[in-house]
Chains A and B, each alone.
Chain A
């Protein structure tokens, strides 16, 4: 091989090597970009999935809170209506007591009798509003007769003034004050609140009745 031929051969091989290096680099670059794109796409999909999941959770939570708030308003309205009913009932009882008509006097007698029947004893103290003392004194004989008949024994009743029953009604206690039955209108109103709340809800919020 001549020097010229040798030079030409070296140049050809160098060109081949350069072409191979460039081809390898291009392939490597294509692979790199392709892998990167694929990775980006998969990351994007994953990120979108995560985002949608978190948005769905956010939506469920926000809507649940909104529903709870609204239900709270409904419950609050029901409670306010219920309060209004008992408030109005209290006003009517107070008016009835204030008028001190025959109905109220009859009620007082019954309240005393009920108290006497609830406690096992024969000597009682009936504490009433100062405005009711006279009315009770007038009715006491009839009350005692009825009580004696119902309990089948002689009953004694002392009438006293109780300042803590401004509305009306009576607090019945034994002579020694160890037992008592609070039949004041306030106590009955309070008990009604505890016992009738469910019934009131049914009556108040049932449509079409």
Chain B
């Protein structure tokens, strides 16, 4: 009887250890770490895409501004010397 009780206690002890070990596994979950790394990479790619998109926008803006610069200066100069009397 005593031996059976000892064996039973041993079985429960092992079961508790197994449960504890499973709980600890969550803390150092590789899947979570991989998810985080994958997301970081995804964010990096999207950021690069946005930067590229705006770099193109900026280049287009500078081109248009360069083309319209003279017209704008002429307009401003004329407006400044326009006197209604």
Nearest Cβ in chain A — how far from B73, in angstroms? 5
A interface: dominant SS = helix
Binding stretch for chain B, among A1-9, A46-54, A127-135, A153-161: A46-54
A40 to B20 CA separation, bound complex (whole angstroms) = 10
Q: Are A92 and B57 in contact (CB under 8 A)?
A: no
Could you say which of B43, B71, B85 contacts A117, with CB atoms under 8 Å apart? B85
Chain B residues with CB below 8 A from A63, complex form: 43, 46-47, 50
**B61 with A205: CB separation less than 8 A:** yes
B73 x A85 contact (CB < 8 A): yes
Number of chain B residues close to chain A: CB under 8 A: 54
Question: Is there a chain B Cβ closer than 8 Å to A172's Cβ?
Answer: no
**What does the 1/0 interface line of A161-204 toward B look like (CB < 8 Å)?**
00000000000000000000000010011001000100110011
Whether A33 contacts B18 by the Cβ 8 Å rule is yes
| In contact, B12 and A29 (Cβ under 8 angstroms) | yes
Q: Which of A37-88 contact B (CB under 8 A)?
A: 37, 39-40, 43-44, 47-48, 51-52, 55, 58-59, 62-63, 66-67, 70-71, 73-74, 77-78, 81, 84-86, 88
Chain B neighbourhood of A142, CB < 8 A: none
Q: Closest chain B residue to A116 by CB distance?
A: B85
- Any B CB within 8 A of the CB of A28: yes
By a CB distance below 8 angstroms, the chain B residues around A51 are 32, 35-36
> In the complex, which residues 7-27 of chain B have their Cβ closer than 8 Å to any Cβ of chain A?
7-9, 11-12, 14-16, 18-20, 22-23, 25-26
- Asked whether any CB of chain B lies closer than 8 Å to the CB of A99, the reply is no
